[in-house]
Structure 1
């Protein structure tokens, strides 16, 4: 830590303190997360889940970047040097009177879903998604504080009371630690409501009050869902039936599509709850897709993926190779139409010296290019047909079933005709040369058919 100078204290948690520090090497400000726990060895430090997760997930535009790990073996202290952002979501909405625009809310939620989708695809779920752990800098959102993260593939049961109560999913409240990565989606839905209305969605004072507030809004779950929870709970529970009043109508800056996404994120049954990658394809983010497609010409190797609902495609992946071929083929066709058929005619060659070929002696390969018409249309490349043989391979049948027409420029037809007639002339010259010899061996060779 001799390379850093403390500037001030940003926050304090149960297991760590967060400081603002100045690097004496590059003159930049960073956030230092100083752990209160005493560490005995470097191996213990490397086994810390938060360090392993940040190293595995970095770099990503919506994940907090870990710059350095400072471990003092003598003192047993550990500090994580991370990038410094302006504030967190809680600080953004605390004491704020003017609501955020729906465009900004949509941008923040899209980035939050991207971060959750990324960590879930990498086998990690956060378990403590809340406004204090979501950092922002201007229009950029980053998910931080992976101290409670866990592997998706770890065996259940997990720790029961892990996330903050107001953002805790029902399966965390009603089971003995039998939950999965879908708890992050529930927490993100609670954050979604809070940044829109500036009020928590389920502000329970204890565990029973938390469940009661959830039932007041979305109603009691179906018996099938309760049966799933009972299988992993030693204590049985029977809740009085509640229809649910619905989400309070305090969000004047949330569209019907936003309500649809919010209800999908706070679905009681985790098996029916929307996943992060599905949330990214929700129609609520249609404006974000449209804004992202403007940057596609800069990324030629990216491909568009359509969403499951058949709406506007996502803006981020690869452009299909088929579309590239179609564009290049259309350019060739346009150039050929502009130029028109080539001028001049080729002289006719006298093919009287060619030997006649008996039909059906050998398979004859027909021309694959038609002669250009007088209208100036480009020749059409046809599929290959074999005549004079009843044997058809599987490849020939497949080729015939998937027959397609491709347009080629007129110049290619001229080149083909020139090469064909040059080949005919070479055959005529070869036959006349062989016929000039009188030896029996040469006569034997003269019987060979050399016609094209």
Structure 2
């Protein structure tokens, strides 16, 4: 029917079946000689093996046509960035329902020992069903990896959603990087703009510390913080971080309490996705 997105990866088209059902077809730029060869690609392997979940991308079909791999997914009206940019979508109930679904999707990935590694508004798609009801999925598993691996690559995810441990160049991170990124996305939904807009790695770290404070000295990689002028900053209490977020985002205390934990500098102190779903904010 129409081209709805394109990039270095290829194009995404809106399509309609003979039964009238809408789909999104992703045509990849990379050429393959066979479907078997294409199925060795990381995100295809994950899409084929990941159990179905209402809030994670589901591969409906895939095929080779004229050497190009085509992936067929459910069609969604917009991505989360487009949703955020619409001022009419600032309802607290809307945001809470969406946040719950995002965390359910992240929880499903983590329960299946996967780290998404590129959580950002563009990788969450949704369709509004009624005033406060949505269909939503976390998409794009191209950077996914198993979280039982000992070492990972250190450059992953878009900078504004990158965790401190990634910004420090660490390779032994775990699924808690997704929790930090999801916290950044939820914060952006509240304010309408990214919470940490650093110009480079160091500036990004500094902007995080300005809001959440320095980690405790027991933090495993505290010595790596010498890239920051730490004398200019201090450790903050949980209450101070919550108050910072309430001022910056204009959100209520229960949401900022959850965000303060998700955005903790130390991944050991961050909650799991399952724990996030139990916070008072969702009660």
- TM-score by structure 2 length? 0.88
The match for 1:173 is: 167
The residue aligned with 1:81 is: 72
- Alpha-carbon offset, residue 9 of structure 1: 1.3
| Contact map agreement 2:246 2:256 (CA 8 A) in 1 | no
The one of 165, 190, 201 equivalent to 1:196 is 190
In 2, distance between residues paired with 1:13 and 1:261?
Answer: 34
Which residue in the other structure is 2:10 paired with?
16
Q: Which has the higher strand share?
A: 2
Distance 1:38 1:56 in 2: 22
Residue of structure 1 in register with 2:154 after alignment: 160
Give the alignment's Cα RMSD to 1 decimal: 2.0
Residue 122 (str. 1) matches residue 112 (str. 2): yes
- Do 2:176 and 2:267's aligned partners in 1 also have CA atoms closer than 8 Å? yes
The whole-number CA distance in structure 2 between the counterparts of 1:84 and 1:229 is: 45
Q: How many residues align?
A: 270
1:142: which partner in 2?
A: 137
The answer to whether the 8 A contact 1:32-1:80 is kept is: yes
Of 101, 109, 127 in structure 2, the residue corresponding to residue 111 of structure 1 is: 101
Structure number with greater Rg is: 1
SS of equivalent residue, structure 1 residue 224: coil
Could you tell me which residue of structure 2 aligns to residue 49 of structure 1?
A: 42
The residue correspondences of 1:51-450 to structure 2 (distance < 5 A) are 51-72=44-65, 75-94=66-85, 96-98=86-88, 100-138=90-128, 139-156=134-151, 158-225=152-219, 227-228=220-221, 237=227, 239-241=229-231, 242-243=233-234, 246-247=244-245, 249-252=247-250, 254-286=251-283
1:77 offset after TM fit, Å?
1.2
Q: 1:44 to 1:229 in 2, by over 3 A?
A: farther
Output one character per residue of 1:193-239: Cα deviation in whole Å (capped at 9) or x when no partner.
111110110011111111111111112223322x4365xx7x96454
The CA deviation string for residues 8-62 of structure 1, in whole angstroms up to 9 with x for no partner, is: 1111233232111223x43322101111122243332112221222223342111
Give the TM-score normalised by the residue count of structure 1: 0.57
Cα distance in 2 between the residues matched to 1:236 and 1:76: 50
How many Å separate the matches in 1 of 2:256 and 2:72?
Answer: 38
